[in-house]
Structure 1
């Protein structure tokens, strides 16, 4: 069974599994994995199945990863899974492992400190995919990793894969990556955000969740120099919780700021609670895509 770790704790040479239901959370975690790799001088290769490469780079940029510059210098490679990895209508495990081996050799020859691979495994759920190739691929990674210098996160969408496959993924990987969650129910999720550092809230937030909201805000104020409160996926916030967010910003000492990113509807409520009058708060309106 995989060891549960924070994304920044995946060791060099690790083979980690990221299972997700929230696409934004997946990108937040990948931004840490990718950004840390770039900072360490490694080449990072991302195989994306559902997000076009240009959009993927843009999402990383929004999360404070210098993705455009890294891509221009060849340190970051974002490839469409079908064109850049599978290479054929019917993928084989050996074919994909050869592609990873080639990337590892290329990274070493180019003088990079190592190679990080972020692999979207949704290809295995395609109508003509052979399920046994997924098993061969994941087991084959053990041999590739033995050589050192390669660190990998494989991503599994819980809405795409069945429980048996997800259990296999948890068993075959050395580490499992997840965000710290403060609260989760069908209508609301509050979790830690790692890059940029802060918290992320999705769904509907009202006075019934004030205690957990205050807990999450207190932690980000304690841990993060300039925290971001990401409300892009927040559909509703009442006055009680909007006021708590504004009040948290007022607790920051001079020189520190809180950025609140949200859509137009939460922004209206935050402004009614005085967000625009707090010097340590910056309100950024950015609609969810």
Structure 2
């Protein structure tokens, strides 16, 4: 778990940021990187994506789904999607100094072309692992970090937690000032709703009451359209829920197609009693984590 002081919402990324994205879900990678690229293009920055495990056509489809004319952006030189092995590996070797020098050439070229800066992201995954051990990658990240004082470069280094050992991911996170994450779907002084990916769902932080139940209900309806069998609702940091909030959850569960479930996770015993008082805990389509074995994800 990364503390909130060590996280940066992706829409708040600016030139000069050197951030880490440790991910374990294709959905999380897609949502964070799509937002990052779209935001950079909207700011007039040049964007380069160094792809490894993700096919360039797939990245193009991410952007197209967000309304980006990928072909035009590429033709105009504003966006480039490159294989990482052609840009990070030289004669089969990982050469950190060469990579960093090459990046600074790209920064200078972007500046000379009139861009305010360069926004990059690289999938630090399978092509690098056989030729660059953890020590080499840590050394590279530390050298790269020293380059961000110029405020002409922003970078998100992607580490797939399904590929690297947990200790290696921890080491890579430590090389970065902050971890990047997707923006909350709702955030005010009373309630914050954050997407979760393993399992797919929502985490609710704060209070569901008369002031927030409208936003909560709207977000639940949108999440119910996600193409997953079950939607998980993490309530570990829920402080209060009133009857209107419980009713919103019950209605969301009842609206699910047969075979799908709304799975409530880590609800405090005292708050669960609110469901039990009128029997709403027995609503079809509604499950609690202590009942959810065999339900699936």
1:172 alignment counterpart: 175
User: Which segment drifts farther, 79-88 or 20-29?
Assistant: 79-88
Return the alpha-carbon distance in structure 2 between the equivalents of residues 10 and 146 of structure 1.
15
Return the alpha-carbon distance in structure 2 between the equivalents of residues 185 and 76 of structure 1.
28
2:242 alignment counterpart: none
For the pair 1:96 / 2:99, whether they are aligned, the reply is yes
Return the alpha-carbon distance in structure 1 between the equivalents of residues 253 and 74 of structure 2.
36
1:62 alignment counterpart: 65
For the pair 1:153 / 2:156, whether they are aligned, the reply is yes
> Which structure 2 residues correspond to residues 28-39 of structure 1 after superposition, within 5 A?
28-39=31-42
**CA deviation after TM superposition for structure 1 residue 69, in Å:** 2.0
Deviations 1:255-280 (A, max 9, x none): xxxxxxxxxxx88989xxxxxxxxxx
Identify which of 222, 226, 235 aligns with 1:231: 226
**CA deviation after TM superposition for structure 1 residue 3, in Å:** 1.8
> Which structure 2 residues correspond to residues 35-114 of structure 1 after superposition, within 5 A?
35-114=38-117
Deviations 1:235-259 (A, max 9, x none): 358xx98973897xxxxxxxxxxxx
For residue 154 of structure 1, give the secondary structure of its aligned residue in structure 2: strand
In the alignment, is the contact (CA less than 8 A) between 1:18 and 1:154 conserved in 2?
yes
Identify which of 218, 226, 232 aligns with 2:215: 218
2:200 alignment counterpart: 189
2:130 alignment counterpart: 127
In the alignment, is the contact (CA less than 8 A) between 2:20 and 2:173 conserved in 1?
yes
In the alignment, is the contact (CA less than 8 A) between 2:145 and 2:176 conserved in 1?
no
In the alignment, is the contact (CA less than 8 A) between 1:14 and 1:152 conserved in 2?
yes
In the alignment, is the contact (CA less than 8 A) between 2:49 and 2:80 conserved in 1?
yes
Return the alpha-carbon distance in structure 2 between the equivalents of residues 268 and 57 of structure 1.
34
Return the alpha-carbon distance in structure 2 between the equivalents of residues 80 and 216 of structure 1.
46
In the alignment, is the contact (CA less than 8 A) between 1:5 and 1:175 conserved in 2?
yes
> Which structure 2 residues correspond to residues 264-279 of structure 1 after superposition, within 5 A?
none
Q: Which segments of 5 or more consecutive residues in structure 1 lack a partner in the other structure?
A: 193-210, 248-265, 271-289
> Which structure 2 residues correspond to residues 135-150 of structure 1 after superposition, within 5 A?
135-150=138-153
Question: CA, structure 1 residues 158+112, in 2 after alignment: closer, same or farther (shift >3 Å)?
Answer: same
**CA deviation after TM superposition for structure 1 residue 23, in Å:** 1.1
With normalisation by structure 1, the TM-score equals 0.66
For the pair 1:23 / 2:23, whether they are aligned, the reply is no
In the alignment, is the contact (CA less than 8 A) between 1:44 and 1:117 conserved in 2?
yes
In the alignment, is the contact (CA less than 8 A) between 2:46 and 2:118 conserved in 1?
yes
With normalisation by structure 2, the TM-score equals 0.64
The count of aligned residue pairs is 224
In the alignment, is the contact (CA less than 8 A) between 1:242 and 1:269 conserved in 2?
no
Q: What is the RMSD of the two structures over their aligned residues, measured on CA atoms?
A: 3.5
Shift >4 Å, 4+ stretches: 180-186, 227-230, 240-243, 266-270
Identify which of 5, 10, 32 aligns with 2:8: 5
**CA deviation after TM superposition for structure 1 residue 183, in Å:** 7.4
Return the alpha-carbon distance in structure 1 between the equivalents of residues 165 and 197 of structure 2.
21
Return the alpha-carbon distance in structure 2 between the equivalents of residues 56 and 185 of structure 1.
19
Structure number with greater Rg is 2
Structure (1/2) with the larger helix percentage: 1
